[in-house]
Structure 1
Amino acid sequence: MKNRNLIDSFNNAINGIICAIKSERNMKIHICTAIVVFIMSIFFDLTKAEFLIVCISVAMVIVSELFNTAIEELVNMITTGYHPKVKIIKDVSAGAVLVSAFFAVIVGYFVFFEHVSTGLESGVERIRQYPMHITIIALIVTVSVVLVLKAVTGKGTPLRGGLPSGHAAIASAITTAVALWSINSKITLLCIVLSLLVIQSRLEAKIHNFIEVFIGAVIGFLITLLLFQTFL
């Protein structure tokens, strides 16, 4: 069936990624590896070109695995018995993942070797000098935790409803980052008011209940506070 609106399109796409992660062991490995690679990219002084190359390499591996999963599901739906052609189809799609992963490892080696040899300390110091980096990391971690919890609880969709509230988590994370980063109490107060309005809108629209928005707000607050306390 055709998606009714843009939100449904995004929800279905995210659900597809979540299904692949939950059902495929290799996808779990790819996602964990991608997270480690991106964290390393933040710690080490990569150029813009190097970072873009890393992003493209990671995307190629994950996209290849998504196509591989889709092809396997399609073939399994068509036939349940053994057939030489089916084996070839699955082997070729798996081979595409292997090729992309192999070249991603080569890219990672050449990009990170020199940076790793210079040490981790300079990367940590750079993050401390730019709190915006910590804020971005906090938002990424917060969104990831929210999506994982929604997948585990099975309630709502990735972008609407369910436990916890993603809007409340993100609003809380941003407000916490501003409060810890800025010395201007007026800006902090404004962010608190805006966060409360976001939470109130989710309650008024009956998209979330109080427990869902409360847990979301706590998650955003704790993750951001932990990261700022770690790096600053």
Structure 2
Amino acid sequence: MITPRRRPSIFESFNFAIEGIIHVLRTQRNMRIHFGVAVAVLVTALAFDVSRLELIALLIAIAFVLIAEMFNTAVEAAVDVASTSFDPMAKLAKDIGAGAVLIASINAIAVGYLVFSGQVADESSRLLDKLSEAPAELTLIALVLTIALVIALKAFSGRGSPLRGGWPSGHAAVAFAAWMAVTLVLGDTEHRFLVSSLTLIMALLVAQTRIEAGVHSALEVASGGVLGALVTLVIFQGFSA
């Protein structure tokens, strides 16, 4: 006679759920990234003293992303168990799960922008107003100087080539120099924060592709980004009227 399986207690059910969360955090890089961003967003929300409704919107968006990532992980695990060889339908199931995470992430970015854009723009407007009254020609000077410094540092370190590999990352340096230049050249325009945010996202994507391609390490990319941004900032601050 088969003994019926005992139903887990409420305490055991909570324990299983927490174990599932911990497993996803341990095994899924994207989940760790989402979780880290969520913590940073909540800390920023406290620092800017957002309203209760804004905080609710942020919490819902964060929960949406984390839940979508966990469902995507569960779908991938179930598909891997069910199929031992390549199956177009298995790939489609994984792609749909990844698409759900993408939609949730885009929604979270939109909510975060709507909540923080005005406050961040107000906080940074004074500094940007002082620096933005500069001719656009400074952008070209900053980019050329950034490239020259990257080549010099690569020659000094003896690693990589001028266009590939080595310290620091030239692609990241130019991308972040362009972001800083765009931010400063825009001046006190209505859509400055939006354009600056989009340019920053593009610079981050450039940096990520260099790491994903195995051309640069995270340190090389980070140092290149800091170099490009600082050089551009110094040029604009030193030579703006």
TM-score when scaled to structure 1?
A: 0.50
TM-score normalised per structure 2: 0.48
User: Which structure is larger by alpha-carbon Rg, 1 or 2?
Assistant: 2
